[in-house]
Amino acid sequence: MTIREKYHILDYEFYNYIKDIIETDIVQKMDNYIQHGSTTTLTHCLAVSYVSYRIAQKFNLDYISVARAALLHDFFLYDWHNIKKVKKLFEKHGYVHPKIALKNSLKYFELNELEKDIISKHMWPLTITKIPKYKETMLVSMVDKYVSIKEFFSPYFILLKNKI
Ligand SMILES: [Fe+2]
Ligand SMILES: [Fe+2]
């Protein structure tokens, strides 16, 4: 099974823009960590990437940078739920992980200024001083929140549906 098949990516054009990132072993490691509910960090990033990409295309924004940076926006490689192991980090995870994701991304990939802005500022307004410089950063930040809320609450909706 190819990586594209593994994640059921039917949009070939989108896949071409992200394949050099998603096909690396290091990015595949994001699949070992849970982000919200039963969603791994990689499937979360992929969802944020694709939704942001489609919206960016509609609004004539830099959709290629959006797709690539959104895929890396949570590239921090630890389980932030594991409070005992990363207690100190957990307390400030929301504030520090964009910086860690940027550092990891720069270690493995070449990023343009827009991509750096998207990754490092996607938690705004939590990181109040890290104000997005570009429309694309604001877009990814909003899509991230929308996707995260959906992932977090989806198990509860299933439970509710089963009860009705
Ligand atoms: Fe994040
Ligand atoms: Fe995220």
Distance CA 79, CA 67 (A): 24
How far does the centroid of ligand 2 lie from the alpha carbon of residue 147, in Å?
Answer: 8
pLDDT at 91: 61
The domain total for the chain is: 1
How far does the centroid of ligand 2 lie from the alpha carbon of residue 33, in Å?
Answer: 13
Share of residues in the chain with pLDDT > 90 (%): 72
pLDDT at 158: 60
Evaluate if residue 47 carries a pLDDT over 80: yes
pLDDT at 55: 98
Q: Compute the mean pLDDT over every residue in the chain, rounded to the nearest whole number.
A: 90
Ligand nearest to the Cα of 145, by number: 2
User: Which has the higher per-residue pLDDT, 83 or 93?
Assistant: 93
Tens digit of each residue's pLDDT (9 = 90 or more) over 115-164: 999 999 999 998 888 899 999 999 999 999 999 999 888 777 666 566 65
Mean pLDDT of 48-54: 98
Mean pLDDT of 56-65: 98
Look up the pTM and report it.
0.90
- The CATH code of the domain that includes 111 is 1.10.3210.10
The residue segments making up the domain with residue 20 are: 3-163
State the number of CA atoms in the 13 A half-sphere of 91 facing the CB: 3
pLDDT at 58: 98
Other C-beta atoms lying within 10 Å of the C-beta of residue 160 = 10
pLDDT at 52: 98
How far does the centroid of ligand 1 lie from the alpha carbon of residue 162, in Å?
Answer: 31
> Which pair of tokens denotes residue 127?
């990181």
37: left (phi over 0), alpha (psi -120 to 50) or beta: left
